Amino acid sequence: MSIGDILLIIIKFAGAVVVFIYGMKLMSEGLQKFAGNKMRSIMGHMTNSPLRGIITGAGVTAAIQSSTATTVMVVSFVNSGLLTLAGAIAVIMGANIGTTITSWIILLGLECSAEKFLLPLIVFAIALPLILFKGDKIKSISEFIIGFGILMVGLQFLQDVMPALCQSHTVLETLHMWSSWGLWSILLFIAIGVILTVLIQASSAVMAITLIMTANGWIGFDIAVAIIMGQNIGTTLTANIAARVGNTAGKKAARAHFVFNMVGTLLTLVVLYPELNLIAYLTQWVSGQATCFDYHSLTMATIPLAITIFHTFFNVINTIILTFFIPQFIKVVDWMVPASNEENEDEFRLRFISGGFTDIAELNIQAAQKEIESFSNHILRMFSFLPSLRTAKDDEEFNKTLDRIERYEGIADRMEMEISQFLTKTAAGDLSQEGSRRISSMLRIVDNLESIGDTIYQIAMTRKNKRETAVHFDQGLNDNLSHMTDLVQNALGVMNSNLNSEYSHIDLNAAYEAEHAINQYRDTLRSRHLDALKLGVYNFGVGNAYSSFYALYEKLGDYIINVSEAIDNSVKAAETLGDASPTKE
């Protein structure tokens, strides 16, 4: 075999893997877009016990066909404090069970490959009419079906191209040599499984390659099992990369994923050969063959089924056993990731999208929505510092509060930039129409939240200028500004409530009432202010500072109502296919 022939085979192999992975990606995205935000809602409310956590992890992973997406969600939930570490470990255990569905789909593809492209053509024929109908849900189902068809095509390509490697005696001799070292061979192929999964970043593709290798007789059952165990360890890398920029809790969840799969592999190695014999017995029984408690009795035709049964058995049994040791897992990851004393609310730290960017755009939208809620809470806390500037007893207390507001304003700028970049990147992906409209509204929301932070900072600097120029307000002016502060605080509360609710349940009337109260009181203060200037009640310096304050507070009201209107536009756009209603600037 010439070098050119080898390169051609490698190119064909790489292309087959890409087609397979793309099909799996389309399936996952189609299901996720069909489910919308239900997956995150389920994960947020069904993890208060280990059993429910396991069921949740298994169900979500089986539904969206992506353990990566599940583990990234887990990291972001733990980052934000919405999921305990114990709950996260349970969900991860369940995700390992859910991902076994993929191996059964691949096995089905191998069994149905007699007629090369018959199944994919039928799938495309079914999916094509669905594309012609309007509606995101129908299109999402169609996308799933097409993804399944492409996956089958990729699997067929792999089956066609891999036997060509048999022409290379070097490859077969090397595999035979590496497989003849007993336990050392098992450990070697576990490492190979880890490396392949890390390089390809798709455990399903490694599973497909392994099944095809056994179907062609290149490797035995025990070696294939070793690769599958290595694949389970390699897939934990995604969660650990996702947690790299997260907080301590998120890092612990990712480490727990690694520790769980590692411990499960070690436990399996202890009883490996009796377990292989048991799987062989079950496989032969399911296949209707004469049963024998010896994995060497498996035929080449039954080994793919045996591997799939092992994959399911491996994850289910390990989960059942290790569920009782969740407290011990927590102690181990606590030791692996010491608590940091530097994490506090005055530091810049994204809570939800710090878990990383997934390939599933609809999941990213839900993560961004949660991050926006965190952004809003940050703005409310920043606003709560303003009264302390007026009541500060000395310069030290005043400057300390001012520095804190300035620090919060810097954090707000960075949050706006990071969330906007995340949303823009998400918008470039494959989104439903509703998802695209939601991103547009979210971009407007974060822009206005950042503007609220800027205005709060301007109020703080106006207060600083007033202090430095020795401008003093009488009790009446202070009371007026205090009432204006209360009105803005109420508007911020309504805005925050709308952001923290499902977008379909916002109270826009309350938002307009809060803004109207601010505008009406601003008009009253402005009228009184003009009369006071005419009558010489206070000098120009006092009047200028005073008018600056109530004008800035009214400006806050404008930005605040823009946020609720952006949410409302998102709701209206989701309800109809027409243009978003005009908003009040």
- 377 and 486 co-located in one domain: yes
Q: Does residue 420 share a domain with residue 314?
A: no
Domain total in the chain? 2
Tokens of 78: 């733990």
Do 232 and 161 fall into the same domain?
yes
pLDDT of residue 479: 92
pLDDT range class, residue 61, cuts 50, 70, 90? confident
Whether residue 297 is predicted with pLDDT greater than 90 in this model: the reply is no
Question: Are 45 and 157 in a shared domain?
Answer: yes
Residues 23 and 151 occupy one common structural domain: yes
Res 585: pLDDT:
38
Residue 550 phi/psi, 5-degree rounding, is: -70, -25
Q: Is the same domain home to 332 and 417?
A: no
Q: Which one is predicted more confidently, 579 or 185?
A: 185
> What are the tens digits of pLDDT across the range 503-531?
667 888 999 999 999 999 999 999 999 98
Structure tokens at 556: 């806050």
384 has a pLDDT exceeding 90: yes
The three-state secondary structure class of 289 is: coil
Domain end point (choices 320, 336, 352): 336
Single out the residue of 92, 98, 95, 82 nearest to residue 45, CA to CA.
Answer: 82
Query: Which of 348 and 409 is assigned the larger pLDDT?
Result: 409
In-domain check, residue 82: yes
The answer to whether residue 347 is domain-embedded is no
Q: pTM of the full predicted structure?
A: 0.60
Q: Does residue 344 form part of some domain?
A: no
Per-residue H/E/C for 118-143: HHHHHHHHHHHHHHHCCCHHHHHHHH
Find the radius of gyration of the CA atoms of the chain: 30
For residue 39, give both structure tokens. 């997956």
Same domain, 367 and 295: no
Q: Which of 336, 368, 402 is the last residue of a domain?
A: 336
Token pair belonging to 318: 């390990």
99 in a structural domain: yes
Q: Is residue 119 in a domain?
A: yes
Q: How confident is the model at residue 325 (pLDDT cuts 50, 70, 90)?
A: confident
- Its domain, for residue 502, covers 360-575
The CATH number that applies at residue 494 is: 1.20.58.220
Contact partners, residue 170, CB within 8 Å, separation at least 6 = none
- Both tokens of 227, joined, read 């690769």
- How confident is the model over 170-194, as pLDDT tens digits? 666 677 788 778 888 899 999 988 8
- Any idea which residue has 């114990």 for tokens? 86
Q: Are residues 401 and 316 in the same domain?
A: no
- Within 10 angstroms of residue 86's Cβ, the number of other Cβ atoms is 17
Question: Residue 392 in 3-state DSSP?
Answer: coil
Query: How high is the pLDDT of residue 46?
Result: 54
133, 219: one domain: yes
Pair 189, 146: CB distance under 8 Å = no
Same domain, 273 and 404: no
Statement to judge: residues 272 and 418 lie in one domain: no
Based on the fold, state whether residues 378 and 304 are members of the same structural domain.
no
**Within a domain: 348:** no
Q: Which of 28-42, 52-66, 96-110, 123-137 has the highest mean pLDDT?
A: 96-110
Residue 541 resides in a domain: yes
Is residue 264 situated within a structural domain?
A: yes
